[in-house]
Every structure is written in structure tokens, then in C-alpha cells.
Structure 1
Amino acid sequence: MEDSELIILQKAHNEFNSKNFKRAEEIYTQFIESCTKSRDCNALDLAIAYNNRGQVKYLRVDFYEAMDDYTSAIQINSQFEVPLYNRGLIHYRLGFFKEAERDFRRVLELNPGFKDAKESLSQTLLDSEEKWKRGYTDARH
């Protein structure tokens, strides 16, 4: 990876950590575009950039756009449990319990000690069962 790409990524992280989310999103986008054109781009850095840009979108309640970024991060690095967990949270919030359950279970396959994923899976299963009991038969399918 070129030094300029690393500098861009670090700037994006700094803006994100400073809660300058609009600017962070712009810089993550710049990094993603640059990285996807590069032949020697670090896959984990790219996955982190997608995940973090997804977090910015999540915070502004653009759930579907955030899910797209999380999915991109997962496609780049299928062992990266954080975007799986984040995508699972959105599935849960949207009431897509089957998809949320699948994401949380995959997180726990990758990292059995991921406490928040265990709790989220538990809550997803409870809410799915409750939805099923109330007559929403598609909740468990």
C-alpha cells in the first residue's frame, strides 16, 4: 500500500475518533476509491474503512447504506466479526430476525467470547419467538 493511502486512512480514523463523522465519511470514501484502484491495497484496511464508513451511515440512520458497507467489509474479509455484528444489529432493528440470527451466530463462530453478540443473539431469538407467537408466522422462517 502506498504511504499516501495510509495517510488518508489515518486522517479518516482521526476524524471518526473526533466524532467529525461527515468529514470521516468523505475521507473513508476517498480511501476506499483509491484502495480499490490499487493493486497492493491491504484487505484488512479496506474492510475497516468500509466498516467505519458503515458506522457513520448507521449513526445517521441510513441503515440500508450502512448494511451495504458492512457487507462489503465482510466480502473483503470474511473473518472480520465486527461488520457481521454491526449488520446483525441493523437486521435486528429492522425486524429481520432470521438474518440477524445468522449474522450473530457467524460472529460467535469466529469469536465465541464476543459478549455483545451472545446477548444480541439471545434477544433476537426471544423477539423472534414473541413475534411468532403473535401470529407473524414468517418470524422464524
Structure 2
Amino acid sequence: MHTHKPYTATAAFLLIACCCVALLQACSGKEDPVTGLWKLPGEAISVEFSKEGDVTLTIDESTISGSFRRNKENVLLVDMGNGEQPVTLSDNGDELRLSDRRDDRDIFLRSETAEKVDRAESLFMAGYQAKNCDSSIVLYTQTATMLEGIPSESGHLARAYNNRGICEEKNGNTEAAMADYTKAIEIDPRLEIAYGNRAWLHDKLGNKEAATLDYRKAAELGYTPAKQWLEEQKLERAD
């Protein structure tokens, strides 16, 4: 039969020491992952979370102050004067929604990432407005490079590849164009214009079956030129 032995002085000392270490770790002031400055790309809207639990929302020149905390379930709660509201920080800590809705399209990014997105948008527009395809290809390539690895910008990234594909096709580089259209579709499977452009290129190259499949998908997604092509060919749409 096993019996419990009374604590020795040494054991008691070790227990107290361990408790002190645990207490020190609990009071170490480890920063919450949300701490820092966040910005909404393309807008003059930012929100900053301080180590002390303060929140500052800036819209143009106006600021609103509040506080934040985490509850027992580790839910991030923000109070800007109208009661606590849950906000959502992505698992990787790179995206912030000021609500608990996963479909909230207003996605704040770390300020440096948001600034990168804004620069990418400027490059994209410069590529769109460039007077020759060689310049556009360079600018769209720079845009894609800057947007890689930013999940919330997948739509813009796909359009950069799609537009570069258009320029590659105009320059006679059909293989590069096809690769770009396919890349755009892989990134954003609902980008109807990319299916339409790839279908057009397939058709031009004599790949009628592949063209039909892409035209049907583009039509399913609502792309009008694809619907017209299918009607002209007297083919039924997938939907």
C-alpha cells in the first residue's frame, strides 16, 4: 500500500519557486497578436491596437478611441463606446475584420502590407494605361510579384495574370498567354473573363473542344461574350 509522504522543506521550496516562475510568466506582458497598426487598402482608414489594450480608429482626419480584450474563450472583443463587439483576426495573424463575419469584405492588413497593396494597385493601373504591351507586361509582372502571398488580394492577383496574358497574346506569345490565363483561373476560379480569354485562344489555335469547355464555364459565370459564342455555335450552355 502506498502512503503519501509529507512535503520536505526542499520540496516546499521548489513548489514555491515554480509558482513564482509561473506568476512571472503570466505577468510577462506578452503582446496580443493583434497589436500594431492596421490599414484598409485603398482607403484612408486605419486602426491601431496598443500593448496596453487601447484601440484607435482613424478615418481620414477623424479618430475614435476605444479598448480591446480577450474573453475566456479567447475571442477578441473591441469596445469603441457602443459596447463590446467581436472582431476577427485570421489564423496567420495577417488579416483583420472589424466584425465576426467571415464574409466581411473590409479586410484590414498590417500597415506595411496594405501599403504594398496600394503600390500594386498603382502599378496595375499604370499597366492598364500603358501605350504598349511590353510596358504593360513589365508592370503587370511587378503587380503580381507584390500581391503574391496576400490571400485577400487573390482577385487582384488573378486579374494581373489575366491582363498580362492578354498582352502576351497580342505580342504573339500564345504559350505564355495560355499559361497566364490558366494561372489566373487557378488563383480565382470564378474569374469569368479569364475563362473567356482562354477559350478565345483555344478556339484561335483550333482546340475546339477545350474552347467549348471554357466558353461554357465562362457563360455559367455570367460572361456575355461566351453566351453569345455558344449561341452562334448552336451549343447549349452548361447551366
Fold match (TM-score > 0.5)? yes
Q: Deviations over 1:90-137 (max 9, x none)?
A: 0000000000000000011111xx3311232345568xxxxxxxxxxx
Q: Report if aligned partners of 1:74, 1:83 keep a CA contact under 8 Å in 2.
A: yes
Q: How far 1:30 sits from its partner (Å)?
A: 1.6
State how 1:1-141 maps to structure 2 within 5 Å: 1-36=113-148, 38-40=149-151, 42-111=153-222, 114-123=223-232
Amino acid at match of 2:125: H
What TM-score, normalized by structure 1, do the two folds share? Answer: 0.76
- Cα distance in 2 for partners of 1:5, 1:85 equals 27
- C-alpha spacing 1:109/1:120, structure 2 compared with 1 (3 Å): same
Per the TM alignment, residue 63 of structure 1 is displaced from its structure 2 partner at its CA by 1.2
Q: Which runs of 4+ in 1 moved over 6 A?
A: none
Q: Distance in 2 between matches of 1:98 and 1:21?
A: 29
Provide closer, same or farther for how the CA distance between residues 11 and 34 of structure 1 changes in structure 2, counting only shifts above 3 A.
closer
Larger Rg: 2
Do the aligned residues in 1 keep the contact of 2:123 with 2:142 (CA within 8 Å)? no
- 1:67 CA drift (Å): 0.9
Q: How many residues align?
A: 123
> Which shifted more, 15-24 or 68-77?
15-24
In structure 2, the residue corresponding to 1:5 is in which secondary structure? helix
> What one-letter code is carried by the residue in structure 2 that aligns with 1:35?
L
Structure 1 residue runs without a partner (length 5+): 127-141
Please, what is the CA RMSD of the aligned residues?
Answer: 2.0
Q: Determine which structure has greater relative contact order: mean sequence separation of CA pairs < 8 Å that are 6+ residues apart, divided by chain length.
A: 1
- In structure 2, runs of 5+ residues without a counterpart are 1-112
Q: Distance in 1 between matches of 2:233 and 2:179?
A: 21
Shift of 1:64: 1.4
Superimposed CA distance per residue, residues 26-78 of structure 1 (whole angstroms, 9 cap, x where no aligned partner) = 12112222322x34551001001001111110111211111100111101111
The structure richer in strand per residue is 2
TM-score, structure 2 normalization? 0.47
Q: Compare the two structures and name the one with the higher helix fraction.
A: 1
What is the aligned-residue identity percentage?
A: 29
